[in-house]
Structure 1
Amino acid sequence: MKRFLKISAVIFFTGSVNLQAQKQAIKKPNIILIMTDDQGYGDFGFTGNPYVKTPNIDKLAARSVRLTNFHNSPVCAPTRASLLTGRYAQRTGVHDTYNNGAIMATEEITIAEILGQNGYKTGIVGKWHLGDNYPFRPSEQGFQYSLVHGGGGIGQPGDLIENFTRPDSSYFNTVLSENNKHVFPKGYCTDIFTDAALGFLKENKSKPFFLYVSYNAPHDPLQLPKKYEDQYKDLKFDSALDKDSGKSWSKMTEKDKENARKVYGMATNIDDNVGRILEEIKKQNLEENTIVIFLTDNGNQQLRFNTGFRGLKGLVYEGGTHVPFLISGKGFIPENKDLDGLTAHVDLLPTLLEASGVPIPKVIKADGRSVFKQILGKQKPEERIFYNAWNRGWPEPYRNAAIYQGNYKLVASEADPDNLNTFGLFNLKTDPFEENNLVKSDKNLALKLKNKLDSTFKEIAASPNLSPRRIEIGTIHENPVILTRQDLSGTAMRNWTGENALGTWTVRVKEEGVYDFKAISIKTIPKGTRALIRLGQIQRSKFVNDENKTVSFTNIYLKKGDYDIESWFETIASVNGPFYLEVLKHK
């Protein structure tokens, strides 16, 4: 049950940096948060990339406050949970990108909920990745409008089957969910999401709004319109910069280069769409009362230019977590300024609430802090502690974790807790590329930070939401319910795109009654296959007598309560799992 919020509305936004703005009563600012997926720090012209064309974002950077020391989680779902709640992702129940680890607890309170209860219209377009079923969808987490794809990426096993079964074209004519109903727009996904964003902006231009534009590009599969692919088809990567043996990108394979050309094309398409949003803000005369934020969710997945940061997506080294962050607001946020204090995704909620004049509800125990006064130049950066960690499955203390304090960062990458020398200690001010390990020369500091890492992990590991989420079935809010491999959990889920992936769906039956189940394969199920479904101690099976891709189990009576669901197809030679499981409650 969602906790009730008692939040008093605040009428005026008072942040300002010049005399004229101070004299003018400014309405609550509109907020547009734009985030891309798997676009690394070096994938922009303004960060030094010599090839990629991002003129609109470069111009935005030139008139923004640039948070040059901003960090996200190493992967996407944890980043999104922290951005929206101001809390470490593990506290929200989000600890992975699939395997029932990317569902945010419905008890969490998001910035969309808070702003929505303070007079804002709220909308999201693009990638959600925090739960596709009731009660975890955007509509249950504060977004009054949503146009999103399923799972963690378009065309992944957690996405709608219409997209997953089109692996070479899923980014075009993508089937999406608009306010929880399937829609079938035509065109390229990034363009479609921008069209929806512009529609939301124009419809709500007379009210304060919070618009979250969460592009799924340039996440793989690397599909893009031909005109953007053609812009980079002749790129050779043969300059002196590309051949610098001291940089990781000098080891790019031909496949890496092919991927980079496509990513750059997708980045230019994103840039054109960001330009469309910025132009519409200007056209609607909203520039002087709109905060625009641009960032990426984590580092680049494929090897390419990243300015020199160590590591890629998935790692707590800077290449996995250090991302660009731009914030602008004409007339009330400074222009063309760098802010080098340590900042992170958990700071976004308190920062934007302060910017909007909305107090943080007392029930929220945020890990972040507002840096709005720092952005305005009214406060200097303060030393702080920041924790960052991620690994497949459940959290581990030393597998892929980091703790920051001031300029220093301790990294535990497959570290041995009994051997301090297996950790990495770096001074990011003098060594931003993490090349000089200081553990041996400053053991006292390393030990101090390890103790802080240990205590933070212990405290977060005790979070009540760090447990499997249960999708609710049998409600009026969603019937039928489609369970996907996004939320199928188990040790056999590493090959989640394969037929032989097996696991468990954790659900909660809200109303007792009669249910039908349909196990769905993407290939024809051979005749003679025995199909099974197991719900706790309830089991049903049947033999497949005709060639089909689905098997139905009907008229199963379930009492209210929690169930762990398994389903599989078995023959003498193999045991395979369905890709989807449809659950329908009889009326």
Structure 2
Amino acid sequence: MKHVLNRAFLGNYDFGMIASLLGLVGLLVGCGSNTDFSMPNVLLIVADDQGYGDVGFHDNEIIDTPVLDRLASESVEFTRFYVSPVCAPTRASLLTGRYHLATGTRWVTHREEVMREEEVTLAELFGAYGYRTGLFGKWHNGKQFPHDPNGQGFQEFFGFTEGHLNNYFDAKQIHNQVVEPTKGYLPDVLTDKALGFMNKEEPFFAMVSFNTPHSPFQVPDTYFDKYKDKGLNDKNASVYGMVENIDDNVGRLLKALQKTGKDKNTIVIFMSDNGPNGIRYNANLKGIKSHVDEGGVRSPFLVRYPNKGWVSKTIDDPIAHIDLLPTLAEVIGLTVPDSIRIHGRSVVPLVQGEPLEERFLFTHQVVRKFDTIPAAVRKGNWLLTIKPRDTALFNLEVDPYQKNNLFENKLEKASQFLNAYRIWFAQVNADYNGKTKIQIGHPGIPKVEFPTQEAVSYLQTTFRGKQGWANDFFTQWSDSSRASWDFDSKGIESYEVYVEMSGQVKDAGVVNLRMVNQSLQGSITAILTKSKIESPDRVPRGEVYAYDWPRIYVGDFRSTQGENMISLSTTGLMNAEIKSIQFILKEEKK
């Protein structure tokens, strides 16, 4: 069923697929209370690393966010909206209504960010109910089909699949599997693409997932100079400039809705994916991005829906990213099947002034290696944080900034929270079967990339960026180095195989790729030199820089169904660097 929805937009039709798709549409529409297709549009805007305090309506006296401030005054604001401490987990949860650990998403790189294709996303539910679905910007839940946006229900995708980009000006983007160049500042480009999508027929679900204010810190001069003149350092001037640019682009989106008369019947949501990416004003909350404290996981959250009176209201009850899917489903009139096993709940009653029973909300974070902690448990006004060297209990009603640890005074409550966490952790990890494998063999998918940070093993080499974040590459590669990738072939397709790399040749260099029952070799007779792409950074970056890479052809490969492994080695090379292995579909070279 998943692959019916995944492939329909690519044109791989057959009668069985069409019948199955129509059956799913009938099932889902039949579950709803509204089938006249007068449903609301949905515009979901997600910022990247914008903190709770990075808006004027949370008493930040330096930043200028007039559009978001006005939107806050016109919206229902949930003041205690909780996300995950880092990007990919939040995105998996808001798309599925499930805790990210249950979706297979554990962290942000090394395929820990990949969401299982079996998960049912907002885009798939909306698409089955007659919506046009589009994602514009960051994805971060899987690079290759069917774990990419097109494979997870977005009929239109324009953006990038990794955790971040290396350049925000004139950046190459993916448009439905095909790489396209762009001109200008990326958030502006993404907004342009979203506007084109929203101006077409209704109903639509548009997710605008900005790449900012995530690093690298690149922003047009007008925005940067304004905040430098206010006395901020280069990093914070960049961040605030990026946020003001988001504000301007949100203004463009809202004006377009008003101009086309769609504003009254469009649910507009604004949020961020985690706490701020650095120490700056955060409404005095404790913690930043990657922390389980309030400042690391509390996000601005606005929802406006004029046709239903969802305007000008503040709600202090705690809710979370897992609540987005069930809430939208109730508003639209779609009953979510029990088989999806949603962890969140609809918060429509809260908007209508009705109380909801208090429940536990759970947070988990990875610090490079998966473990049971760091973690946090919230219920009502109580917060328990569980860290390697500290477990603390806070009453946020009287201590919102986490100054007074009540753990020793409230041992019974702390024990209750700890026990609830242990049970939850076991439940959400019960179905985990290891990292999802890269898939090949899907017809119509022009390229499958095996990036170095997704290798399952590597020897005698290291990452240029040390941690292996998005866009990283192997360096100090020698003839004793090895790397391998697991993959799963879903069909029979023919590929040309290339390796993106640079390096010096001793005499005659050879690139070796070995798979089950097949070996490929590519010859190198000259120095391979990658070329650096200039980057207008405002501060030194933590990420690797972007390069144009030479590409070596190593042979043809015809996939057969089943699991496989590809291993990489070289002979006759010195000071080599490896970026990726690429499988290019022979019938559709892109």
What TM-score, normalized to structure 1?
0.85
**1:297 & 1:215 partners in 2: Cα distance?**
10
User: Which of 227, 230, 242 does residue 225 from structure 2 map onto?
Assistant: 230
Change (3 A) 1:498 1:201: closer
User: Which of 331, 349, 359 does residue 384 from structure 1 map onto?
Assistant: 359
Residue 306 of structure 1 aligns to a residue in which SS? coil
Change (3 A) 1:371 1:540: same
Match of residue 545 from structure 1: 525
**1:281 & 1:513 partners in 2: Cα distance?**
44
1:370-415 CA-partner distances (Å, limit 9, x unpaired): 00121232x11421011110204564112x1111122212111125
Match of residue 508 from structure 1: 488
Change (3 A) 1:395 1:387: farther
Match of residue 131 from structure 1: 142
Change (3 A) 1:572 1:458: same
1:40-97 CA-partner distances (Å, limit 9, x unpaired): 1111100111111100000000111110111001111111110010001111111111
Match of residue 7 from structure 1: 28
User: Which of 415, 429, 435 does residue 447 from structure 1 map onto?
Assistant: 415
The reply to whether residue 274 of structure 1 matches residue 241 of structure 2 is no
User: Which of 188, 191, 195 does residue 194 from structure 1 map onto?
Assistant: 191
User: Which of 373, 383, 404 does residue 436 from structure 1 map onto?
Assistant: 404
**Pairing of 1:60-139 with structure 2 (within 5 A):** 60-139=71-150
Match of residue 10 from structure 2: none
Match of residue 311 from structure 1: 287
Change (3 A) 1:518 1:392: farther
Residue 437 of structure 1 aligns to a residue in which SS? coil
**1:48 & 1:569 partners in 2: Cα distance?**
57
| 5+ long unaligned stretches in structure 1 | 15-24, 156-169, 238-256, 416-421
8 Å Cα contact 2:148-2:161 kept in structure 1? no
Q: How many residues align?
A: 531
8 Å Cα contact 2:236-2:280 kept in structure 1? yes
Structure 2 residue identity aligned to 1:176 = Q
Match of residue 397 from structure 1: 372
**1:339 & 1:550 partners in 2: Cα distance?**
54
Match of residue 439 from structure 2: 472
Match of residue 499 from structure 2: 519
**Pairing of 1:357-436 with structure 2 (within 5 A):** 357-377=333-353, 379-392=354-367, 395-398=370-373, 400-415=374-389, 422-436=390-404
Match of residue 499 from structure 1: 474
Structure 1 residue identity aligned to 2:210 = Y
Change (3 A) 1:490 1:387: farther
Structure 1 residue identity aligned to 2:38 = K
Residue 500 of structure 1 aligns to a residue in which SS? strand
Task: Kindly state the Cα deviation for residue 571 of structure 1 after the two structures are TM-superposed.
Answer: 6.6
User: Which of 29, 40, 44 does residue 51 from structure 2 map onto?
Assistant: 40
**2:447 & 2:473 partners in 1: Cα distance?**
25
8 Å Cα contact 1:527-1:546 kept in structure 2? no
1:182-238 CA-partner distances (Å, limit 9, x unpaired): 22221110000111111111112xx2111111111111111111111121122225x
**2:222 & 2:457 partners in 1: Cα distance?**
42
**2:504 & 2:230 partners in 1: Cα distance?**
45
Residue 2 of structure 2 aligns to a residue in which SS? coil
Task: Kindly state the Cα deviation for residue 558 of structure 1 after the two structures are TM-superposed.
Answer: 5.4
**2:411 & 2:371 partners in 1: Cα distance?**
23
Match of residue 176 from structure 1: 173
**2:55 & 2:324 partners in 1: Cα distance?**
22
Change (3 A) 1:451 1:271: same
Residue 288 of structure 1 aligns to a residue in which SS? coil
Match of residue 555 from structure 2: 554
Match of residue 584 from structure 1: 584
1:474-532 CA-partner distances (Å, limit 9, x unpaired): 331323322224533458665323533875433112345765421112x4444445533
More strand as a share of residues = 2
Structure 2 residue identity aligned to 1:410 = L
**1:50 & 1:513 partners in 2: Cα distance?**
58
Change (3 A) 1:439 1:530: farther
Match of residue 213 from structure 2: 218
User: Which of 532, 547, 552 does residue 512 from structure 2 map onto?
Assistant: 532
Segment drifting more, 209-218 vs 227-236: 227-236
Change (3 A) 1:530 1:31: same
Structure 2 residue identity aligned to 1:298 = N
**2:415 & 2:32 partners in 1: Cα distance?**
48
The reply to whether residue 295 of structure 1 matches residue 295 of structure 2 is no
Match of residue 541 from structure 2: none
**1:552 & 1:429 partners in 2: Cα distance?**
63
Structure 2 residue identity aligned to 1:2 = K
**1:520 & 1:43 partners in 2: Cα distance?**
39
What TM-score, normalized to structure 2?
0.84
Change (3 A) 1:70 1:568: farther
8 Å Cα contact 2:97-2:343 kept in structure 1? yes
8 Å Cα contact 2:287-2:295 kept in structure 1? yes
Match of residue 240 from structure 1: none
1:509-561 CA-partner distances (Å, limit 9, x unpaired): 2345765421112x444444553334368655566332223333214565432
**2:410 & 2:556 partners in 1: Cα distance?**
67
Task: Kindly state the Cα deviation for residue 295 of structure 1 after the two structures are TM-superposed.
Answer: 0.5
Residue 271 of structure 1 aligns to a residue in which SS? helix
8 Å Cα contact 2:160-2:173 kept in structure 1? yes
8 Å Cα contact 2:515-2:566 kept in structure 1? yes
Structure 1 residue identity aligned to 2:95 = L
8 Å Cα contact 1:514-1:555 kept in structure 2? yes
Q: Matched residues, percent identical? A: 34
Residue 578 of structure 2 aligns to a residue in which SS? coil
Residue 444 of structure 1 aligns to a residue in which SS? helix
**2:178 & 2:121 partners in 1: Cα distance?**
22
| 5+ long unaligned stretches in structure 2 | 4-19, 477-481, 529-549
Residue 211 of structure 1 aligns to a residue in which SS? strand
8 Å Cα contact 2:491-2:561 kept in structure 1? yes
